Structure 1
């Protein structure tokens, strides 16, 4: 994933909150949407952007799709920021 796509995804406070929710457990889109005062379509768009950036993964189980945090991309961003700070 490109760093630009990842940083753009992280720039939105709603997407950062979604990542915080996924920090402790995987959740369905419905469970995620219960935490926001926005439409399900808006939550789906945020999830799509996070998935495109590689920040989350999804798994289909029956009629549900569960989302979970992909920490490897976050680790790459943190490493880049650490290296930037050290220079």
Structure 2
């Protein structure tokens, strides 16, 4: 398998991150995580939203696939950690082009 070029990988990263940020609920999840110290369990996150658990789970999966959340198992529960460095590296570097 051929490794994608740096430019192709950068474009893929941009697509993943901006697609994740395109939905209001996912942006809200990131903001809630940020204001609550960067780490919350899946139950704590789900309790903040009126949508069904499968919907919240899909949103968390999109954010995780984009690299904006890391997940670790804590017993039977998952803890999600905000990756601000990834968000700043991908979205921030793109936005800097407009300064």
Q: TM-score, normalised by structure 2?
A: 0.81
Match of 1:78 in 2: 92
RMSD: 1.1
Match of 2:30 in 1: 19
Structure 1's unaligned 5+ residue stretches are: none
Partner secondary structure for residue 72 of structure 2: strand
Count of matched residue positions in the alignment of Structure 1 and Structure 2: 85
Runs of 4 or more above 6 Å deviation: none
1:13-69 residue CA offsets vs partner (Å, 9 max, x unmatched): 000000011103311111111111100110000000000000011111111110010
Match of 1:32 in 2: 45
Structure 2's unaligned 5+ residue stretches are: 1-11
